[in-house]
Amino acid sequence: MGCSLVVAVILLVLWLLTCRSKLKVFHEQHKFNPIGLKPFSYHELDAATEGFKVEIGRGAFGTVYKGTLADRRAIAVKKLHDLFKKQNPEEGEKEFRTEMRIIAANHHKNLVQLYGFCDEGSHKILVYEYMSNGSLDDSLFKGTKGLAWELRVQILLGTARGLLYLHEVCRTHIIHCDIKPQNVLLDEKYCAKISDFGISKLLGVQQTRTFTLARGTLGYMAPEWQKTMAVSVMVDVYSFGVLLLEVICSRKMLQLDVPENEIMLSDWVYDCFKHGRLAKLVEQQECRGMEVRQLERMVLVGFWCIQEDPFLRPSIKKVLQMLEGTVEITVPPNPGSSSLHSGSNSV
């Protein structure tokens, strides 16, 4: 009788420990899920990615792997870097929460869709829709064929529409803070979708500007980040302007293996514009269907977006209207100068 009691007690303790373990996992998965995202276990995602075998992207905070769910949906699995979590645990946790909250709460055809997450102890993982054509960076700078002109225009319009949603339409207005080709993803139809919201900044009700530490990627960061000024959605407009010029010319803003006067893309583009040689920007590209007037319009939009003075930059809504050709565009000041006057010509 005594032995039976001991066995029963041992079995009860083992059962309670098992339940506690399962409850802990359940709690970890559901403790931050206010909007009903699907919680995945680490085991599920390890199986879906075959042990995180196929890497499709890498950023400052995490590595992205391709996977397939049980229902055969292709997914992109972003796993937060272990090293980053150890060195900056608070920032890592903040990046994870921010991205989850922003993407899950906002739905737009030009924002990447978040399916779910894994939050088991040290495992911080986000699960997105898979974008079969990778990033804009891949298509612009790493492919051999390049992008057709009509696709480049389509991608720019889609990116601008995604930013318009973030800046003016969603309930809590959002500054993305890191618009660049790596963070614009392309689906099977080359529909552009903005991704990577880990360092985004949410604006409060009636708030248009905010003070925050500099964030973003060098080359795409607006000048006000370095001037301890309050920042606004205009930092995204600046980044979009840099991206726009890169898309037009299919090259990065800074390139060293070119003539000296072409190293800085914005300076070279402005010089070509000033001397009526815009065709030189695209002479090595496949640009069937491109009209010179359309090229000039897009270049002028880029110049307006990268004005040093944020108050000179147009809103993303106006940028979209200018790209679509529904509003007149005046000739902007040289974005490389401090001049505040604008030209009287228009296109």
Evaluate whether 290 touches 276 at the Cβ level (below 8 Å): no
Tokens of 120: 């088991």
Long-range (24+ apart) CB contacts under 8 A made by 111-114 are 111/162, 111/165, 111/166, 111/193, 111/194, 111/195, 112/185, 112/193, 112/194, 112/195, 113/193, 114/37
Query: How far out from the chain centre does Cα 37 lie?
Result: 20
> Pairing between strand 192-194 and 184-186?
antiparallel
Q: Which helix (H) or strand (E) holds 202?
A: strand 201-202
Evaluate whether 233 touches 170 at the Cβ level (below 8 Å): no
Residue 123: closest CA among 176, 55, 44: 44
Evaluate whether 165 touches 106 at the Cβ level (below 8 Å): yes
Other C-beta atoms closer than 10 Å to the C-beta of 9 total 10
Reply yes or no on whether 267 is catalytic: no
Question: How would you label 167-184 residue by residue, b for 16+ Cβ within 10 Å and e otherwise?
Answer: beebeebbbbbbbbbbbb
Cα–Cα distance measured from residue 85 to residue 81, given in angstroms and rounded to the nearest whole number: 6
Cα–Cα distance measured from residue 60 to residue 175, given in angstroms and rounded to the nearest whole number: 19
Cα–Cα distance measured from residue 76 to residue 234, given in angstroms and rounded to the nearest whole number: 30
| Given 119, 137, 178, 196, the catalytic residue | 178
Per-residue CA distances from 179 to 137, 171, 197, 300 (Å): 12, 21, 10, 19
Any idea which residues carry the catalytic annotation? 178
